[in-house]
Structure 1
Amino acid sequence: MGYRGPIACSAAGITYRQLDYWARTKLVEPSLRNAAGSGSARLYSFRDILVLKVVKRLLDTGVSLQQIRSAIEHLRERGVEDLAEITLMSDGASVYECTSTDEVIDLVQGGQGVFGIAVGRVWREVEGSLAELPRERTQVQAAAGEGSEPAAFEASDELAQMRARKQAS
């Protein structure tokens, strides 16, 4: 399941113009479906929207686009499960990844970290924003007839799968 551009913008707190620019410059591209010409719609996953919101937060704190690109590339290399466990710290020039409280404290005590973004908290914010917003099946799911029943529709949703895993643990 995915979310169209306007829904992704709403959940990430960005403008459609920002979304379009970031997709065209490959900063954050939709992983489910990219635009294929006039009239086609991009389709963003939950993880894509999470990354969009992290980019927005970094921009709001004055981090350079070059450093944001580097940080986003690092996030792409990590799995979805790992993202909720990290805190991104920055001094405005560089972005650092911290996976424990001790790392955050060491960075702040070293005088390097000025602000931090707890990705797990951003995750929960995006999850809450998307809970009531409409989503769309990918073309592959629609062609295969997946999601024709409401239960199957929910089960194939990335966000619903994450919630089910959380409840099972």
Structure 2
Amino acid sequence: MPSIRRDGSGEREISVAEDLKGQRSAHATPRSIPAEPVVQPGLFPDDSVPDELVGYRVPTACQIAGITYRQLDYWARTGLVQPSIRGAAGSGSQRLYSFKDMLVLKIVKRLLDTGISLHNIRIAVEHLRQRGVADLANVTLFSDGTTVYECASPEEVVDLLQGGQGVFGIAVGGAMRELTGKIAEFPGEHADVVETGEKVVPFEDELASRRRNRARKIG
């Protein structure tokens, strides 16, 4: 993950496979990206990636991520972590957060708790968004308290620690397992539903209801 490192000459981007002198480490080897991500056995109950169209409402997202509504709302309004399934559009609409959204929420909360600035967290989040759920399971985030680094292989972890850059780490796969266990206790909603007043009904049922109402009026 490119990260921002501050020095006397200003800011510049470095990658985790580079050492402090900007030279690529001999321990770091190029990674080939598989055509289809392999899901780690036991990561999910049925060893399949969670449905990307199943979302969870704001109270659930707050409780699972361990954050307040004010934090969640601020992050959504500022674009840090926005609900990817459904945003708040109009009065009465409910935001829906996907499994991946809530994983990112948990990671953001942990990074904030360690004192990482929102600026550097935004950089980390942008890179997390570019990866699929299965890919994220292999990622470990490290930080020296200022910068966030991404490691996706044991070699990169060793290289980073030898450089003295890693003070604490977040194994995304571990956070994912924790999230999987918690999320099973809460109801999810599929993206193919529409809200009508206070009741949420399947889209197909709503269309059928409208047809019946028109038929009654014609009769």
Displacement of 1:8: 0.7
Distance 1:11 1:126 in 2: 7
Match of 2:203 in 1: 143
Give the TM-score normalised by the residue count of structure 2. 0.63
Of the three residues 84, 93, 110, the one matched with 1:57 is: 110
**Is 2:186 the counterpart of 1:133?**
yes
Displacement of 1:140: 4.8
Match of 1:88 in 2: 141
Distance 2:90 2:77 in 1: 12
The 1:143–1:66 alpha-carbon spacing in structure 2 relative to 1, beyond 3 Å, is same
Displacement of 1:37: 2.7
Letter paired with 2:70: R
Gaps of 5+ in 2: 1-53, 195-201, 206-219
**Is 2:165 the counterpart of 1:112?**
yes
Displacement of 1:38: 3.0
Displacement of 1:92: 1.5
Give the TM-score normalised by the residue count of structure 1. 0.81
Match of 2:8 in 1: none
**Is 2:100 the counterpart of 1:47?**
yes
Q: Which deviations, in whole Å up to 9, do the C-alpha atoms of 1:132-154 show, x marking residues without a partner?
A: 11112224582146xxxxxxxxx
Q: Look at both structures and tell me which one has the larger radius of gyration over its CA atoms.
A: 2
Structure with greater proportional strand content: 2
Distance 1:105 1:133 in 2: 38
Gaps of 5+ in 1: 146-169
The Cα RMSD (Å) is: 1.4
Distance 1:24 1:37 in 2: 14
Distance 2:182 2:105 in 1: 13
SS of residue in 1 equivalent to 2:188: coil
Displacement of 1:119: 0.2
Match of 1:152 in 2: none
Match of 2:89 in 1: 36
SS of residue in 1 equivalent to 2:164: coil
**Is 2:150 the counterpart of 1:97?**
yes
